[in-house]
Amino acid sequence: MRRFLLLLGSLSALVLYMLAIATGYADAMSQHFWLIAIFSALLIFCLSFALFHQLWKLLRDVKRHVFGARISQRLVRVFTWVTILPAVFIFAIAAQFITHSINSWFGEETSEALERSMSIAKNTLDNFQQESLQQAIDFAEQAQNGLQRNHDAGSVINKINSQHFSQILLYNSQNKIIAKHSNTDNTLPQPDDDDLPNTPNIDKQNSNIISINNTLYAQSWQRIHTNDAVYLLFLRWPVPQKTVEDVVLIEKAHAKYAELTFNKKSLQTFFVVTLLMSTLLAVVFALLTAVFFARRLVAPLMSLAQATQYFRPT
């Protein structure tokens, strides 16, 4: 019986450890939470069966008036109350604490803070885009002045301070590239022909942000008029890495919060089931151990009583 208790105790400790890990929603083992919970229920059933078997043997000894059986029965009663009452009290308090704690995680203040963070991140990108767009407009005006003086298109682009831009492309009226400049060793792809806008429809606010090779870039199309021709200027420049990191961090936090909010009930269920399984495992194993040791404590008395029968006077 002692080895059996050691085996069940080891299994109980292992199951509790696995449940504690699986309760972590982001952990890989959380995918197997219910499988671990079912195994925990089976272990509780085995412990309960062993407990009722020991209690049945104790009640049988009491009915047969076996010496020491009533002492064991009283000890089991004491151990039962001492085990169950604190366990029930702790379970009730912990369950309430878990429920209120999880509800506090998803309060209005947290949601509003994340929404404002997202708004700040968007405004940061918008401000950068507007500042860079103004530089693109200034660049287009300088290029226009150079082209009106019949300067070579390549020299016009190279003479202008273009260090701010990662890629510059100048198209003629037939949408052919007649000049280009790059600060990235020509690693950035050129716009597809389908992406070329209709030149007359371009306005001064034409700008957007795209992701290329996991890097954010702002880009803009600018129309250039000269005395005898119309040109299309394409400009692309990188978003500062610090800005990108802040925006990505905020977006990840917002997405994680949305995921947890969607799975709020499941998260509460995970915690409560883990708490319930832990409590039941602890209580049933403690009662089984109490019954075993209660019978072991009175075993010497039973042996002594049996031995004295041989010395009774006849």
Mean pLDDT of 269-290: 85
**pTM (2 d.p.):** 0.50
User: Domain of 20?
Assistant: 2-105+264-311
Question: Which of these three, 256, 272, 303, is where a domain ends?
Answer: 256
Distances (CA, A) of 127 to 120, 158, 208, 211, 303: 10, 27, 12, 18, 90
> For 204, what's the count of Cα atoms within 13 Å in the CB-facing half-sphere?
9
pLDDT digits (tens, 9 = 90+) for 109-163: 667 777 777 787 788 888 887 887 888 888 888 888 888 876 677 777 776 655 6
Please indicate, yes or no, whether residues 18 and 123 belong to a single structural domain of this protein.
no
Percent of the chain with pLDDT over 70: 76
Say which CATH number the domain at 136 has: 3.30.450.20
Q: Are 127 and 240 in contact (CB under 8 A)?
A: no
Phi and psi, residue 235, nearest 5°: -125, 140
Residues with Cβ within 8 Å of residue 47, at least 6 apart in sequence:
8, 12, 281, 284, 285, 288
Model pLDDT, residue 185: 58
Please indicate, yes or no, whether residues 69 and 89 belong to a single structural domain of this protein.
yes
Residues with Cβ within 8 Å of residue 2, at least 6 apart in sequence:
292
Please indicate, yes or no, whether residues 24 and 127 belong to a single structural domain of this protein.
no
Q: Are 287 and 79 in contact (CB under 8 A)?
A: yes
